[in-house]
Amino acid sequence: MPATWPGRAASLPALADDAARGPRLQVLVAYGGLMAAHTALRLVPAQGVPVFWDPAGDYGREGNGLDPRWGPYDEHVTRRRDLIVSAPPDLTTYTRFRWGLLDVGLEVFEWDLSAAHAEELRRVLLEGTTPAHPAGAFTTLAPLAFCTVVTADFLGRFADPTRGLRGFYFFPDSLARQLYGRAPSRVILFRPEQEPRVYAPPTR
């Protein structure tokens, strides 16, 4: 986090109110007690249900041994090619899941999008692309432990203003460091039992 970015406290219900905040792209970086743990992606279109991509992740899988203090958890999740296609979680639900895994932080990079670009990204995520696409073939199904690699690949090929992102990012925090330089509209930091804080780049 750049030291010059101003921050403010915000309520979790307000941050989870998708209808009031317009189309946007969210990249979620989760932190365990020792190291960054996972990267996921959430897309809020102008209309319709958000798309939640949990590449090689555990959301909705059985046998996670989640801490019951943060429940209840959704036990009827349908995954298709690592997309959560039944009841994709909002930020409130997903943060509870991460705390259930004993994570200690969640960093959400957020970009405001035009309705047209949000719809373009929605189609890429839901349908994938073929080799004939200008950006090449893409699928949301991710190899085990490659959550950050595939998320960075998607961002670099399809999403403005992260298009052109280059490099191999295996660890979630290595991608997070790059995303601070990709002009996010805001970054939201969550910690268990604390108010979320919202940070934005300083206005010029």
Query: Is residue 117 included in any domain, yes or no?
Result: yes
DSSP string across 13-58: HHHT-STTT-SEEEEEEEE-SSSEEEEEEEEE-SSS--EEE-TT--
Q: Indicate the number of domains in the chain.
A: 1
> What pLDDT sits at residue 87?
87
Q: What pLDDT was estimated at residue 204?
A: 59
Residue 147 lies in a domain: yes
- pLDDT of the residue at 3: 85
Domain extent at residue 165: 7-199
- Supply 48's token pair: 């319709």
**Would you say residue 1 lies in a domain?**
no
Per-block mean pLDDT, blocks of 10 residues, the chain (204 long): 88 76 95 94 94 96 91 90 94 95 97 96 96 93 96 94 86 95 94 94 77
Q: Does 133 reside within a domain?
A: yes
Order the strands of the 186-190 sheet from edge to edge: 7-9, 197-199, 186-190, 105-112, 24-31, 36-44, 51-53, 83-84, 79-80
| Phi, psi torsion values for 198, nearest 5 degrees | -110, 130
Any domain includes 101: yes
The verdict on residue 144 lying in a domain is: yes
- pTM: predicted TM-score of the whole model, two decimal places: 0.95
For residue 2, is it within any domain?
A: no
Name the nearest CA neighbour of 172 among 124, 125, 106. 106
Please give the pLDDT value at position 202: 83
Spatial neighbors of 68 by CB under 8 A, at least 6 apart, are 100
Q: Is 74 inside any structural domain?
A: yes
Q: What is the pLDDT of residue 15?
A: 81
CB 6 within 8 A of CB 150: no
pLDDT at 129: 95
